[in-house]
Amino acid sequence: MSNSILGRTGISQQVLIIGGGLIGVTTLFELSRRGVPALLLEAGSELAGETSFANGGMLAPSHSEPWNGPGILGHLVASLFDPDAAVKLRLGAIPGLLGWGLQFVRNAAPQKFQRAAQANYLLSTYSAARTRQITLDHGLQYHQSDKGTLRIFSDQKAMDWPLQMARTLALMGLDFEVVSPAQAIQIEPQLAHSNISIAGGLYAKNDGVGDAHLFTWQLARLAQKSGGEIRLNTKVNRLVQEGGQVIGVETDGAMIRGPVVLAAGIASVKLAARIGLQLPIQPAKGYSISVEAGALGEDQPKIPILDDAMHVAVSPIGKILRVVGTAEFAGNDLSLRSRRLVNLRKVFTRMYPQLNEQLDWGTAQSWAGLRPMSADGVAFIGAALQPGLWLNCGHGHLGWTMAAGSAQLLVDQMLGTSPAIEPAPFQWIR
């Protein structure tokens, strides 16, 4: 059976997209723009209300390495006993993580890890370029800025591994500079007052930042203008199969027919499992605090700074400063743990003590989201084994960076047109 969604007449059926986050909406946009009828079904009352709501905003191909770098097992075990560990494994989550966890650790082997980082880098750069093109073509405004990102390190040794990784990615085009503490301050003058001792940094000039939530909403409007349909408050309860083929979905009120794109973030796992498809994806919880920073005027930091040791970034997104990061393997738990939020505040205070005083933290908004993290750190983009079902899920810590490119890569495969990047690393079987 052909994988393409084009029927024999050349007219395609309406495609059903499950999930209205970054990944589902960019898929809707891409299908609609190519004249394919598509209907997006979103369980919530708004688009981008889950993991795509208040993320770090970084369009950052330079962050392409998966999170299971060599030595991850030791870090995770140690984190069980350290409540403040930047990457934290919670005891209660271990039973649910067993199969996935073994794969996660196995994929930390140097060759597999490098391959995953390279695949991510190709998709990320392709995707960031596509995001910029869409922005230009349609005059989108989502507080975007393209001045790079800076990763800072408190000791030289901690920089060794990321530097090695950056050099590998540089062979594929990553434009980065190793910077001294003085150069770091030149790039971001607000670091001059920092209490973090900076031994050096990696400056990725072509990274950017922007409000992913705002982008998603604007893109949804464009998709609707091209004929794409969106139904909010419509939860898909299950995928419907007939003779081994996925023929549609069942919602509370109806059965809707059509080929299906699974783009439901972390919820993709449950929906897939009900038809026997075990997606190796687990939630990696992260937090953010967004604080109004309009009063800072010219003092507003210009680019995202990532404190590598703490796994925390401070991103300027328009007139907001967003402190974001940490990873907790704690199952499907969205509770806001005050200790994690306090840690984010501490990093901010150390990074920008002078700005800390000027901000009204009383009105700041705290948030947590679940990164859909695949066991090898690479997303699934392409046909599932079951005909009629397509996957666009598991984008982990880089879903914003990869969204526009993933949609293009998927739709190329759905329409049987030649993708601009090699789809093999993102296939279900790889």
Ligand X SMILES: Cc1cc2nc3c(=O)[nH]c(=O)nc-3n(C[C@H](O)[C@H](O)[C@H](O)COP(=O)(O)OP(=O)(O)OC[C@H]3O[C@@H](n4cnc5c(N)ncnc54)[C@H](O)[C@@H]3O)c2cc1C
Return the structure tokens found at 121. 């880098």
* 3-state helix/strand/coil string of 283-322: EEEEEEEEEECHHHHHHCCCCCEEECCCCEEEEEECCEEE
Q: Which residues bind ligand X (CB under 6 A)?
A: 18-24, 41-44, 49-52, 55-58, 60, 235-236, 263-265, 267, 271, 286-288, 324, 369, 371-372, 393, 395-401
Nearer to ligand X, 84 or 160 (CB): 84
Nearer to ligand X, 42 or 376 (CB): 42
- Closest distance to ligand X from the beta carbon of 7 (Å): 26
Answer whether 104's CB lies under 8 Å from 375's CB.
yes
Alpha-carbon span 85 to 356, nearest angstrom: 23
Candidates 275, 380, 226, 263; CA nearest to 16 is 263
Nearer to ligand X, 253 or 297 (CB): 253
Nearer to ligand X, 215 or 287 (CB): 287
User: Residue 365: enclosing H or E segment and its boundaries?
Assistant: strand 365-374
> What burial letters (b/e) apply to 219-236, b meaning 16+ CB within 10 Å?
bbebbeebebbbeeebeb
Nearer to ligand X, 69 or 81 (CB): 69
Return the structure tokens found at 146. 């393209």
Nearer to ligand X, 161 or 367 (CB): 367
Cβ atoms < 10 Å from Cβ of 21: 31
